[in-house]
């Protein structure tokens, strides 16, 4: 099975073959948001002396990751950095270099990747930099490539028995309301009060927040010394589900159906705001200000040093989906409940996306760059609510995978087995509106 701390959110890359793992994720309908950095030498920006790490060695690693993972169509986006700015010293030197990494990565994708893929940033939710950094990474003057396509917030302010207001989530929503790029929680799940009940989940997926935040990623999957894990990997490879896992699952299961009418109206309002901004400033993103509180941007965004590398590309084997035997979709690991009892579950990946594997011309880079042969997605299904609330500069990363009909036992209890085939008027209305909004975005970005 796939191994990694954030296989449903963010994973750290090493120069290994990820074809089987990414095929497993795609088969299960799971998208990936990938950080192009790691703690290894020459694999991340030095937050205190970024000019020393902004070099060709660093970008060769970044571009190899981008090149390899761009060919997996379930790669949803790349993170150009994670909490690079987290104190006054880093805030005094690093912001322009983050912007440069965003620009260079987007330029590389534009020339070398087989499809547009958004590039964003994951920020520590420090009140000193919450608004200044978000606005700085959102803005652009003469080069729109310097603006993030999406923005992640690592928020740990909902701790223990809180509410939408006592946690300060209401202020968080107000702070990001009107942000021109999609915003989501790239990390959440405070553990200052244990056990974690994840009471923030219902707030995140209901009308208090869905018009501003596009969901979130709980930190983190496997248990480590910091005690944020949802599961514990035992020495023999078996898995113990922790109490947090079951509680989080319960919260997700109890989230009510999204209010589609509310989402549609929010999308309309967002579209109007973007149209007005374009008319006023002749730009789809805000113009940069001369200064931002608590940030030093006086150095300016450094000129690129990797234009040749961007033009020529890097030498790395493109990722590709591969055929998996049934045995490769199964695991021999045993899953245990928190009390030690064996967890009664299906010990194999539940395949919800069927797709064909093209094994021809594996090394034909040119064909690969011009084709999405390896896509696990149905090209006719192009509607995804979370991606069109506030549009990124790129077009949709890829169409949503076409899933097999899944029955939710709770929702279908006592219902006729054919009810799932009946049209949902609310959902149909939602799709009609999103189609019209997406046509609007297409007219802007093309």
C-alpha span between 81 and 177 (Å, rounded):
23
The active-site residue, picked from 187, 200, 220, 398, is: 187
Residue 231 pairs in a beta bridge with 222, 241
pLDDT in tens, the chain (446 residues): 443 333 334 444 456 899 999 999 999 999 999 999 999 988 999 999 999 999 999 999 999 999 999 999 999 999 999 999 999 999 999 999 999 999 999 999 999 999 999 999 999 999 999 999 999 999 999 899 999 999 999 999 999 999 999 999 999 999 999 899 999 999 999 999 999 999 999 999 999 999 999 999 999 999 999 999 999 999 999 999 999 999 999 999 999 998 999 999 988 888 888 788 778 877 788 999 999 999 999 999 999 999 999 999 999 999 999 999 999 999 999 999 999 999 988 899 999 988 777 654 444 443 343 333 333 333 333 333 333 333 333 333 343 443 333 434 434 334 444 444 444 544 454 455 445 544 544 444 44
Instruction: Based on the residue annotation, tell me whether 348 is a catalytic residue of this protein.
Output: no
Number of domains in the chain: 1
User: Which residues 6+ apart lie within 8 Å of 336 measured at CB?
Assistant: 238, 239, 240, 241, 342, 343
Token pair in block for residue 60: 């060769």
Please check whether residue 340 lies inside any domain of the structure.
no
Cis? peptide before 195, omega within 30° of 0? yes
Q: Distance between CA 186 and CA 143 in Å, rounded?
A: 26
Which residues constitute the domain of residue 193?
8-321+426-445
pLDDT of residue 276: 83
Res 274: pLDDT? 78
What pLDDT is stored for residue 410 in this prediction? 39
Spatial separation of the C-alpha atoms in residues 259 and 256, rounded to whole Å: 9
CB atoms within 10 A of CB 102: 24
Q: Give pLDDT, residue 84.
A: 98
pLDDT given for residue 112 in this prediction: 97
Q: Is 187 a catalytic residue?
A: yes
For residue 185, what are the β-bridge partners?
A: 153, 216
Is the residue at 160 inside a domain?
Answer: yes
CATH for 72: 3.20.20.80
**Residue 300 neighbours by CB distance under 10 Å:** 9
Domain membership of residue 66 (yes or no) is yes
What is the reported pTM? 0.79
3-state secondary structure 264-328: HHHHHHHHHHHHHHHHHHCCCCCCCCCCECCECCCCCCCCCCCHHHHHHCCCCCCCCCCCCCHHH
Residue 355 covered by a domain: no
From the centroid of its chain, how far is CA 384? 14
Supply the pLDDT for residue 435: 57
Set 83, 317, 328, 420: catalytic member: 83
Domain membership of residue 99 (yes or no) is yes
DSSP string of 180-207?
SS-EEEEEE---SSSS---THHHHHTST
Q: Is 79 helix (H, G, I), strand (E, B) or coil?
A: strand
């Amino acid at each position: 099975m796939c191994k990694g701390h954030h296989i449903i959110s963010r994973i750290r890359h090493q120069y290994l073959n990820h074809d089987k793992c990414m095929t497993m994720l795609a088969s299960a309908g799971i998208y990936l948001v990938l950080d192009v950095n790691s703690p290894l030498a020459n694999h991340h920006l030095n937050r205190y002396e970024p000019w020393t790490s902004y070099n060709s060695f660093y970008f060769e690693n970044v571009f190899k990751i981008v090149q390899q993972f761009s060919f997996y169509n379930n790669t949803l986006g790349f993170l150009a950095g994670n909490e690079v700015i987290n104190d006054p010293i880093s805030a005094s030197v690093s912001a322009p270099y983050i912007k440069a990494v965003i620009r260079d990565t987007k330029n590389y994708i534009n020339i070398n990747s087989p499809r547009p893929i958004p590039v964003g940033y994951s920020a520590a939710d420090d009140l000193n930099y919450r608004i200044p950094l978000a606005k700085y990474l959102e803005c652009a003057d003469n080069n729109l490539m310097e603006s993030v396509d999406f923005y992640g917030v690592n928020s740990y302010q909902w701790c223990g028995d809180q509410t939408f207001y006592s946690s300060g989530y209401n202020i968080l929503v107000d702070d990001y309301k009107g942000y021109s790029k999609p915003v989501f929680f790239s990390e959440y799940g405070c553990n200052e009060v244990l056990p974690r009940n994840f009471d923030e989940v219902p707030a995140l997926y209901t009308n208090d927040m869905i018009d501003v935040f596009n969901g979130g990623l709980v930190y983190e999957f496997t248990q480590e010394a910091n005690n944020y894990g949802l599961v514990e990997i035992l020495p023999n490879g078996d898995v113990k589900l922790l109490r947090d896992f079951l509680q989080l699952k319960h919260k997700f299961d109890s989230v009510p159906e999204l209010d589609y009418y509310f989402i549609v109206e929010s999308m309309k309002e967002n579209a109007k705001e973007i149209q007005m901004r374009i008319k006023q400033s002749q730009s789809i993103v805000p113009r940069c200000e001369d200064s931002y509180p608590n940030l030093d941007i006086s150095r300016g965004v450094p000129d690129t040093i990797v234009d040749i590398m961007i033009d020529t590309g890097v030498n790395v084997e493109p990722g590709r989906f591969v055929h998996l035997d049934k045995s490769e979709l199964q695991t021999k690991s045993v899953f245990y409940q928190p009390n030690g009892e064996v967890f009664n579950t299906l010990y194999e990946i539940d395949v919800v996306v069927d797709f064909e594997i093209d094994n021809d011309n594996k090394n034909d880079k040119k064909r690969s760059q011009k084709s999405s042969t390896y896509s696990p997605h149905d090209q006719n299904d192009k509607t995804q609510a979370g991606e069109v609330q506030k549009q990124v500069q790129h077009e949709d990363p890829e169409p949503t995978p076409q899933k097999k009909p899944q029955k939710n036992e709770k929702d279908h209890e006592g219902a006729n087995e054919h009810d799932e085939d009946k049209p949902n008027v609310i959902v149909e209305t939602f799709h009609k509106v999103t189609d019209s909004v997406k046509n609007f975005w297409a007219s802007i970005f093309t």
